[in-house]
């Protein structure tokens, strides 16, 4: 059974930083791509960042480019999202997801397994 568990969310002021983690079990983590998505209240889930199986290719939403960094540690079955220069509009529940393929994708429908989410709140 594939399980994804996110952690690292919290309350931070504008301009602050957070690092999210997602630990994956029941899956050959190093073979597959990972993604981060977010959903704000009253809005649809949106793509944030994705990384390929090896960690060499990354994709970002325009809204987070230059501020967020996705990276992975295949030895620890963990993917991270480093979030810097946070803005109030980054407030959302953040989800990690994995897909049965090696390439980074920005479409939620291409991901089969999802975590429960972790809340990020950025105060102004």
pLDDT at residue 82 above 90?
yes
- Please say whether the beta carbons of 70 and 80 come within 8 A: yes
Q: How confident is the model at residue 102 (pLDDT cuts 50, 70, 90)?
A: very high
CA angle 24, 90, 61 (to 5 degrees): 70
Residues 6 or more apart whose Cβ sits within 8 Å of residue 117: 6, 39, 93, 94, 95
Q: How many CA atoms lie within 13 A of 53 on its CB side?
A: 11
Give per-residue pLDDT as tens, 15-64: 999 999 999 999 899 999 999 999 999 999 999 999 999 999 999 999 99
Mean pLDDT, the chain, rounded, equals 97
The helix/strand/coil state of 92 is strand
Separation of alpha carbons 101 and 28, rounded Å = 11
């Amino acid at each position: 059974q594939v399980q994804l568990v996110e952690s690292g969310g919290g309350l931070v002021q504008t301009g602050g930083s957070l690092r999210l983690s997602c630990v994956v079990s029941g899956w050959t983590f190093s073979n597959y791509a990972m993604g981060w998505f977010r959903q704000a209240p009253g809005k649809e889930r949106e793509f944030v960042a994705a990384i390929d199986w090896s960690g060499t290719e990354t994709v970002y939403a325009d809204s987070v480019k230059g501020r967020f960094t996705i990276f992975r540690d295949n030895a620890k079955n963990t993917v991270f999202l480093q979030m810097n220069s946070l803005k109030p509009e980054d407030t959302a529940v953040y989800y990690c997801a994995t897909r049965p393929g090696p390439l980074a994708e920005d479409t939620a429908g291409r991901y089969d397994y999802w975590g429960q989410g972790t809340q990020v709140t950025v105060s102004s």
